[in-house]
């Protein structure tokens, strides 16, 4: 393994490790301090979201937290030192916690029987055990949880500069690929955080081959970036827990009843509405007493208004629906054991843990044919179209009519399905971390910056860059030294000397003109000395943003370094930004021998300064005028002339292309079908989904609008309509 060297004795113990509180190191901290003066790398495992999950009052483990928990419990399998850390990103401090104290907390949460008081007491012990440390060059900082919970990731930038390599475990890209299922705030936060973290990452791990493909495509198409990505598929093992005699008392309403189980957070993305509609149709055909109960297990999540309306309309909870939250692993084991089969019609997943858990318990699962779920279920599961509840009705109805089929299916699963264990998963993940060979050259940011392009420091333009479908590279993580966290539009230097470093696409030795959009953080002027090679130039800043051009030279390996020295002293309390010296909002560079690049750069900066936001008149102003709407409708209704006037063929081809995620051909086939069947509301909706996947939000908006007109009772389409409308308003 080609790790950067760790030199014993290069730093004193006091520099590497010190108490987080008081003056005395705990015993475990002294042992760690001794290890840090040796040469073996240490892997720092970020558990911030796990402890936040415990602090929020949760008494069981689920989802992402189950991954963190098992890595802690099986850390001895790694053959390396795995130390949990709870960093303070706002203060740029890495705080490690006693692994034994963290393990106690994990065991309490995994038991499902611990009280909130016991969990909070264990959590306090974790916090009290913390020590402050400085990861070394050659160590690895590993993020397997919710990395987007931090406001900024400048601590990772500092670690990278010091030689610590960064490894990120990505669970899914739903906030980017399927943003309609989450809030715009959540999507914006995730997008900004992902772009920042990828810019300093060395290694990426994913929980499925599906997510691996999505991450690689996103980096290639939107970031012009290549990083090694390794898929480490999640387990399908359900934790084995001690069962108690009272385990089934909570489920007395299910005694003697057949039921179908759906496990997962109750939110819009999990598509519980589909199951409610399927059961409503089954009850209408066979009667309430002749169909199995439907059981939802999970916490109530967000954007569930439509589901609540459907439950109220059908009076489902008074007839055939049971909902349970805060279910322990033992209780979940009981529910799996006694169900007929499970159903998981989620629209989008990074993995789909309930599918694997069901099969691991020998229970058949009916799940979605979308995203990663076929990877989990293979040929042991059966599939439905999550956008078409009638396909779900067909699959489930046939099983209920022929119960022998369920028995045969279950027998095959129990005899042939081989669950993947958590031990196996941890072995694979630790192995991937240990075998990784970092690059010999590690610029401060992994992104490659192209000439004649503006790169901004704030995140204000990210939503627009996302909509435009082009590169979303920012200059945020080029701040090598002397900077505070990036704000919405600016980054401010909080030291008199500050540095930027850009890994460019141009060869070493190139002479470039560098364009900088700068300002003074106060009403007084500031004088900067700027150098980017052999010469130093002076620029004068005012409180108004202004663009300055300086001459520079690209250095070794295509790296462009820009250094600033503020020659005007900052005055405390002069501004609300305290001791900020100057601010920067954008940077770009051009080849001095390429006049077309200079013209393009000048034009881009001029246009950026002229941009204004279009006002919207609440809910009364449409986001598409009649001309745009007509143009979009004509484009996709008359894109091609059908060779065969057989609409059914085009519909089948469209559905096949959509299942294959070939959105371009799905769009064409749906357009041909709708030319012959313009009143097919359901097909218009499916067409809208395809256009949204392609990023053609105007066409999707038209399609959803037509569905609302043709079938006002289709409440499902409203959330999709509202999403694309909000997207178009931001353009």
For 582, list phi and psi in degrees, rounded to 5. Answer: -160, 165
Task: Give, as one character, the DSSP assignment of residue 449.
Answer: B
Please tell me the predicted confidence (pLDDT) of residue 695.
Answer: 80
pLDDT > 90: percent of the chain: 56
CA proximity to 70, closest of 50, 96, 85, 44 = 50
Please tell me the predicted confidence (pLDDT) of residue 467.
Answer: 80
**Cβ atoms within 10 Å of 544's Cβ, excluding its own:** 7
Contact (Cβ atoms closer than 8 angstroms) between residue 45 and residue 85: yes
What's the rounded mean pLDDT across residues 88-101? 93
Question: What is the layout of strands, in order, in the sheet containing 479-481?
Answer: 479-481, 497-503, 559-566, 526-531, 536-541
Report whether pLDDT(631) > 70: no
What's the rounded mean pLDDT across residues 594-619? 63
Chain mean position to CA 710 = 35
pTM of the model: 0.80
The two three-digit tokens of residue 689, written as one number? 């989904």
Give the residue with greater pLDDT, 410 vs 13: 410
The two three-digit tokens of residue 473, written as one number? 């590279």
Contact (Cβ atoms closer than 8 angstroms) between residue 563 and residue 533: no
For 653, list phi and psi in degrees, rounded to 5. Answer: -65, -40
Please list, in sequence order, all residues whose beta carbon lies within 8 angstroms of the beta carbon of residue 82, skipping any fewer than 6 positions away.
Answer: 43, 45, 71, 72, 75, 99, 430
Q: Which helix (H) or strand (E) holds 96?
A: strand 94-96
pLDDT band at 677 (very low <50, low <70, confident <90, very high): confident
Chain mean position to CA 279 = 33
Which range of 34-38, 191-195, 706-710 scores highest in mean pLDDT? It is 191-195
What's the rounded mean pLDDT across residues 181-186? 84
Collapsed DSSP state (helix, strand, coil) of residue 604: helix
Give the residue with greater pLDDT, 461 vs 406: 406
Report whether pLDDT(214) > 90: yes
Please tell me the predicted confidence (pLDDT) of residue 622.
Answer: 43
Quick: pLDDT tens for 251-261.
Answer: 889 988 999 99
Q: What is the Cα–Cα distance from 5 to 651, expressed in whole angstroms?
A: 60
Q: What is the Cα–Cα distance from 364 to 378, expressed in whole angstroms?
A: 12
Of the chain, the end-to-end C-alpha distance in Å amounts to 48
Report whether pLDDT(100) > 90: yes
Quick: pLDDT tens for 327-339.
Answer: 877 888 899 999 9
- Angle at Cα 255 formed by Cα 254 and Cα 259, nearest 5°? 45
DSSP 407-423: HHHHHHHHHH--PPPHH
For 349, list phi and psi in degrees, rounded to 5. Answer: -140, 155
pLDDT band at 386 (very low <50, low <70, confident <90, very high): very high
Paired with 526 in beta bridges are 541
Contact (Cβ atoms closer than 8 angstroms) between residue 583 and residue 479: no
Please tell me the predicted confidence (pLDDT) of residue 43.
Answer: 96
Domains belonging to the chain, first-starting first, are 17-231 (3.40.50), 249-418 (3.40.50.2000), 455-610 (2.60.120.260), 626-729 (1.25.40.10)
What's the rounded mean pLDDT across residues 596-612? 72
- Angle at Cα 272 formed by Cα 650 and Cα 684, nearest 5°? 25
Please tell me the predicted confidence (pLDDT) of residue 441.
Answer: 80
Contact (Cβ atoms closer than 8 angstroms) between residue 528 and residue 521: no
The two three-digit tokens of residue 558, written as one number? 């295509």
Give the residue with greater pLDDT, 344 vs 152: 344
Which range of 6-10, 218-222, 297-301 scores highest in mean pLDDT? It is 218-222
Report whether pLDDT(699) > 60: yes
pLDDT band at 633 (very low <50, low <70, confident <90, very high): very low
Q: What is the Cα–Cα distance from 375 to 207, expressed in whole angstroms?
A: 11
Please tell me the predicted confidence (pLDDT) of residue 657.
Answer: 78
pLDDT band at 621 (very low <50, low <70, confident <90, very high): very low
Distances (CA, A) of 54 to 69, 95, 102, 106, 108: 11, 18, 11, 9, 10
The two three-digit tokens of residue 124, written as one number? 């306090």
CA proximity to 549, closest of 587, 521, 522 = 587
Please tell me the predicted confidence (pLDDT) of residue 579.
Answer: 75
What's the rounded mean pLDDT across residues 382-396? 94
Helix, strand and coil percent figures for the chain, each rounded to 5: 45, 20, 35
Q: Which of 61-65, 206-210, 246-250, 718-722 has the lowest mean pLDDT?
A: 246-250
Quick: pLDDT tens for 491-510.
Answer: 999 999 999 999 999 999 99
Q: What is the Cα–Cα distance from 283 to 725, expressed in whole angstroms?
A: 36
Q: What is the Cα–Cα distance from 197 to 166, expressed in whole angstroms?
A: 9
pLDDT band at 607 (very low <50, low <70, confident <90, very high): low
Give the residue with greater pLDDT, 679 vs 195: 195
What's the full length of the chain, in residues? Answer: 731
Please tell me the predicted confidence (pLDDT) of residue 650.
Answer: 76
Report whether pLDDT(641) > 50: no
DSSP H helical ranges for 112-183: 116-128, 154-162, 174-177
Q: Which helix (H) or strand (E) holds 672?
A: helix 663-676
Q: What is the Cα–Cα distance from 316 to 329, expressed in whole angstroms?
A: 26
Q: Spell 164-182 as b/e; 16+ CB within 10 A means b.
A: bbbbbbbbbbbbbbbbbbb
Q: Which of 2-6, 173-177, 231-235, 345-349 has the lowest mean pLDDT?
A: 2-6
Quick: pLDDT tens for 531-584.
Answer: 998 889 999 998 888 889 999 999 988 999 999 999 876 555 555 566 789 999
Q: What is the Cα–Cα distance from 344 to 367, expressed in whole angstroms?
A: 5
pLDDT > 70: percent of the chain: 89
pLDDT band at 637 (very low <50, low <70, confident <90, very high): very low
Quick: pLDDT tens for 275-295.
Answer: 999 999 999 999 999 999 999
Q: Which of 367-376, 437-446, 710-719 has the lowest mean pLDDT?
A: 710-719
pLDDT band at 615 (very low <50, low <70, confident <90, very high): very low
Q: What is the Cα–Cα distance from 59 to 327, expressed in whole angstroms?
A: 9
């Amino acid at each position: 393994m080609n790790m950067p060297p760790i030199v014993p004795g290069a730093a004193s113990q006091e520099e590497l490790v010190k108490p987080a509180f008081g003056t005395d190191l705990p015993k475990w901290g002294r042992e760690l301090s001794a290890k840090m003066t040796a040469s073996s790398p240490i892997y720092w495992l970020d558990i911030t979201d796990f402890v936040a999950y415990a602090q929020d009052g949760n008494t069981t483990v689920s989802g992402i937290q189950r991954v963190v928990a098992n890595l802690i419990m099986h850390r001895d399998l790694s053959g390396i030192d795995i130390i949990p850390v709870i960093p303070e990103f706002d203060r740029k401090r890495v705080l490690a916690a006693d692994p034994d104290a963290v393990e106690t907390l994990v065991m309490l949460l995994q038991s499902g029987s611990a009280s909130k008081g016991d969990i909070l007491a264990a959590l306090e012990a974790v916090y009290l055990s913390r020590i402050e440390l400085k990861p070394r060059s050659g160590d690895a900082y590993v993020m397997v949880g919710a990395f987007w919970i931090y406001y900024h990731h400048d601590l990772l930038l500092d670690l990278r500069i010091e030689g610590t390599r960064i490894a990120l475990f990505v669970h899914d890209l739903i906030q980017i690929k399927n943003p309609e299922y989450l809030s715009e705030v959540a999507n914006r936060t995730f997008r900004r955080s992902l772009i920042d973290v990828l810019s300093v990452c060395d290694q990426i791990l994913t929980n499925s081959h599906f997510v691996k493909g999505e991450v690689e495509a996103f980096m290639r198409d939107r970031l012009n970036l290549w990083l090694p990505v390794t898929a480490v598929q999640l387990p399908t093992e359900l934790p084995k827990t001690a069962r108690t005699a009272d385990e089934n008392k909570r489920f007395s309403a299910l005694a003697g009843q057949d039921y179908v189980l759906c496990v997962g957070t109750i939110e819009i993305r999990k598509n519980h509405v589909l199951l409610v509609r399927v059961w409503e149709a089954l009850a209408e055909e066979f009667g309430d007493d002749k169909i199995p109960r439907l059981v939802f297990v999970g916490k109530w999540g967000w954007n569930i208004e439509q589901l609540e309306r459907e439950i109220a309309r059908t009076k489902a909870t008074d007839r055939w629906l049971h909902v349970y939250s805060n279910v322990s692993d033992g209780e979940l084991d009981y529910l799996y054991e006694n169900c007929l089969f499970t159903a998981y019609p989620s629209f989008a997943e990074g993995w789909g843990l309930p599918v694997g858990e069901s099969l691991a318990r020998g229970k058949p699962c009916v799940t979605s044919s979308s995203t990663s779920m076929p990877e989990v279920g293979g040929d042991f599961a059966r599939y439905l179209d999550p956008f078409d509840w009638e396909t779900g009705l067909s699959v489930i109805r046939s099983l209920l009519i022929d119960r022998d089929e369920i028995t045969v299916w279950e027998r095959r699963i129990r005899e042939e399905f081989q669950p993947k264990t958590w031990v196996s998963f941890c072995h694979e993940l630790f192995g991937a971390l240990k075998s990784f060979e970092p690059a010999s050259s590690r610029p401060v940011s992994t992104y490659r910056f192209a000439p004649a392009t503006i790169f901004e420091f704030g995140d204000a333009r990210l939503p627009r860059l996302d909509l435009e479908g082009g590169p979303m590279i920012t200059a945020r993580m080029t701040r090598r030294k002397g900077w505070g966290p990036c704000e919405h539009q600016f980054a401010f230097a909080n030291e008199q000397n500050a540095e930027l470093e850009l890994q460019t696409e141009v060869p070493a030795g190139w002479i470039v003109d560098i364009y900088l959009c700068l300002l003074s953080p106060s009403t007084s002027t500031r004088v900067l000395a700027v150098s980017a090679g052999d010469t130093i130039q002076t620029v004068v800043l005012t409180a108004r943003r202004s663009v300055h051009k300086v001459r520079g030279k690209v250095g070794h390996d295509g790296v462009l370094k820009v250094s600033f020295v503020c020659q005007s002293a900052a005055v405390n309390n002069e501004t609300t930004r305290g001791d900020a010296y100057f601010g920067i909002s954008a940077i770009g560079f051009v080849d001095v021998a390429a006049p077309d690049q200079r013209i393009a750069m000048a034009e881009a900066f001029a246009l950026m300064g002229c941009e204004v936001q279009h006002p919207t008149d609440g809910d009364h102003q449409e986001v598409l005028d009649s001309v745009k709407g007509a143009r979009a409708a004509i484009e996709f209704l008359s894109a091609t002339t059908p060779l065969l006037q057989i609409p059914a063929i085009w519909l089948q081809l469209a559905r096949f292309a959509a299942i294959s995620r070939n959105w371009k051909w799905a769009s064409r086939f749906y357009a041909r079908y709708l030319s012959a069947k313009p009143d097919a509301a359901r097909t218009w909706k499916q067409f809208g989904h395809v256009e949204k996947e392609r990023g053609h939000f105007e066409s999707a908006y038209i399609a959803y609008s037509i569905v609302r007109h043709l079938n006002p009772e289709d409440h499902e389409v409203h959330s999709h309509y509202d999403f694309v409308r909000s997207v178009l308003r931001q353009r």
